Structure 1
Amino acid sequence: MSMSDLKARDLMKTKITSVRPDEKVAAVDLLMVRKSLGGVPILQYETDKLVGIVTQRDMMLSRFRTSIAGMTVENLMTKNPITVSPDVSIKELLGLMLSHRIERLPVIDNGKLVGIIEPDSILKAVYQTISSDPKI
């Protein structure tokens, strides 16, 4: 498989830790630290629809607020994050990530979160692709 053949489905992680909008910022921060997560998708209760994403950067910035006690991730998350379908090319998804300065890209199929693309999953796929090329 060449680099230009790579799609979101080839790069995405499918084991996703997600949280609900009403979870406390402190609890989600602890979860992210314990699981070494750079970000977590926020899913709506009734539908499991992606409604937001919260990142380590969001958590770091929240520490400078005067009162985060009792605050929920709904107040902190990026609402309606940029997403891609599983068939989006690596070129297109990298373009989105660079132009919007984001490190996590949720993958949505038929309205459901099916994966997430993160920097390490991209690096792994790139490494595997160039490692199998005898010219490199």
Structure 2
Amino acid sequence: MSKKISSLMHREVCLVGLDDTAQSVEAQMVAKGLSWVPVANADGVVLGVISSADLLRLHAEGKPIQKVSAWQLCTYKPLTVRPDATLGEVASLMVAMNIHHVVVAEGTHIKGVVSSLDFVRTFVP
């Protein structure tokens, strides 16, 4: 677990904007096979994340997804770690915070993303 999180992260990141509708976010997630996406402002600074669970909750509440903006749906202040953080450090933080998604960044520049499923995949040949 001393390997760096950068060895596990996905470098190609699909960002959504604060004003994107939940409908467009959901469409992007489905089209790209994603279970979550970071939400960024116009400068590309990640402010939150939207997961498939957030979208399911929105549907269950019966709210019109074409009228709900990403900023209204996202979980703010996602766990953000540096690319040189170790897998052990990140895994411990994820467990302690009971979260499944991590943004990897240097300062405000996003470098990649990691999910709990990425950790699981390290054990599957």
TM-score of the two chains, using structure 1 as the length reference = 0.83
For structure 1, which runs of at least 5 residues remain unmatched after alignment? 129-136
Q: Which is richer in strand?
A: 2
The 8 Å contact of residues 104 and 111 in structure 2, kept in 1 or not, is answered as: yes
- For 2:8 and 2:77, locate their aligned partners in 1 and report how far apart those are by CA, in whole Å: 22
| DSSP 3-state at the match of 1:51 | strand
| Letter in structure 2 aligned against 1:48 | G
Q: How many residue pairs were aligned? A: 124
For the residue of structure 2 that corresponds to 1:5, the secondary structure is coil
CA contact (8 A) 2:79 2:101 kept: no
Unaligned runs of 5+ in 2: none
Q: CA–CA distance in 1 between the matches of 2:28 and 2:120?
A: 25
- Residues in 1 aligned to 2:62 and 2:117: alpha-carbon distance in whole angstroms: 34
* Alignment equivalent of 2:119, drawn from 109, 115, 122: 122
Among 6, 11, 14, the residue aligned to 2:11: 14
Within-5 A mapping of 1:56-135: 56-68=52-64, 69-127=66-124
State which structure, 1 or 2, has the greater radius of gyration over its C-alpha atoms: 1
Identity over aligned residues, as a percent? 22
Aligned twin of 1:48: 44
- Aligned equivalents of 1:126, 1:114: Cα separation in 2: 24
